[in-house]
C-alpha cells in the first residue's frame, strides 16, 4: 500500500512539473485525464430501424435463423419490438423506424444503406461462403459477393429487407480470443 501511495505521489509530482514547465497540459496528458471520466468502452445493443417489423422478423428469424421470442412489447403504444439475444450477451433488436424516431425525439427518416454496416467475422472463408449463401436464400440482396479483400481477408456484403448492410468476413486478427 505504501509503495502504491508513493508511486502515486511521484506521478502527481511529475504531472505538476510538466504543467508548470509547459503552461498547459500536453495533448497526451489531456487525453489521459479525459479517459479517467470516459464512458465505458462498450455497447451491448444494436437497434435496427425497420419499415415492416413482421417482414424483418421473418428475415432474421426464419431466414438467417437467429433466436428470438418474436415480437414483444405490443402492450405499449409504439412499443412493439423484436429482440434477438446473441452470443456474448449482445442484443440485436428490430424496431419500427417511426417508433425509433419517436423514442429518440427525432423525425423518421428514409433508408440510407451507407449509415453503417454490421460486421460478422467468421472462422473460415468456407463459412463466409455458407453465410452468404444462407442470406441469399433468405432473400437478402447480395451487393458484393465474397472475394479476397485489399486488407488481406475474405469478405462479402448483403443487405437485409431495409437495406441495412451486413459484411460477412474472415479476418483472423479480429476473431474473439476464444477461437
Q: Which is nearer to a second copy, 8 or 31 (CB)?
A: 31
Where in 65-94 is the site for a second copy (CB under 8 A)? 65-67, 73, 76, 79, 84-93
Question: What is the distance between the terminal CA atoms of the chain, rounded to a whole angstrom?
Answer: 38
How many residues in the shown chain lie near a second copy by CB under 8 A? 80
Distance CA 84, CA 170 (A): 23
Q: Which is nearer to a second copy, 1 or 147 (CB)?
A: 147
34-55 burial code (b ≥16 CB/10 A, e <16): eeeeeeeeeeeeeebbbeebee
Contact pick of 52, 53, 120, 125 for a second copy (by CB under 8 A):
120
If binding is defined by CB under 8 A, does position 146 make contact with a second copy? no
Helix 2-22 vs helix 27-36: crossing angle, to nearest 10 = 140
Q: Which is nearer to a second copy, 55 or 120 (CB)?
A: 120
If binding is defined by CB under 8 A, does position 144 make contact with a second copy? yes
Amino acid at each position: 500500500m505504501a509503495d502504491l501511495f508513493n508511486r502515486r505521489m511521484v506521478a502527481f509530482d511529475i504531472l505538476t512539473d510538466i504543467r508548470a514547465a509547459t503552461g498547459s497540459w500536453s495533448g497526451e496528458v489531456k487525453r489521459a485525464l479525459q479517459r479517467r471520466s470516459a464512458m465505458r468502452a462498450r455497447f451491448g445493443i444494436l437497434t435496427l430501424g425497420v419499415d415492416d417489423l413482421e417482414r424483418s422478423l421473418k428475415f432474421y428469424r426464419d431466414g438467417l435463423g437467429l433466436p428470438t421470442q418474436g415480437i414483444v412489447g405490443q402492450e405499449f403504444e409504439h412499443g412493439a419490438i423484436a429482440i434477438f439475444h446473441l452470443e456474448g450477451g449482445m442484443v440485436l433488436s428490430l424496431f419500427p423506424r417511426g417508433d425509433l424516431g419517436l423514442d429518440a425525439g427525432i423525425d423518421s427518416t428514409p433508408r440510407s444503406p451507407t449509415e453503417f454496416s454490421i460486421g460478422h467475422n467468421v472462422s473460415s472463408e468456407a463459412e463466409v461462403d455458407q453465410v452468404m449463401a444462407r442470406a441469399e436464400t433468405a432473400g437478402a440482396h447480395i451487393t458484393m459477393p465474397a472475394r479476397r479483400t485489399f486488407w488481406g481477408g475474405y469478405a462479402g456484403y448483403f443487405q437485409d429487407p431495409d437495406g441495412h448492410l451486413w459484411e460477412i468476413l474472415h479476418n483472423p486478427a479480429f476473431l474473439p480470443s476464444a477461437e
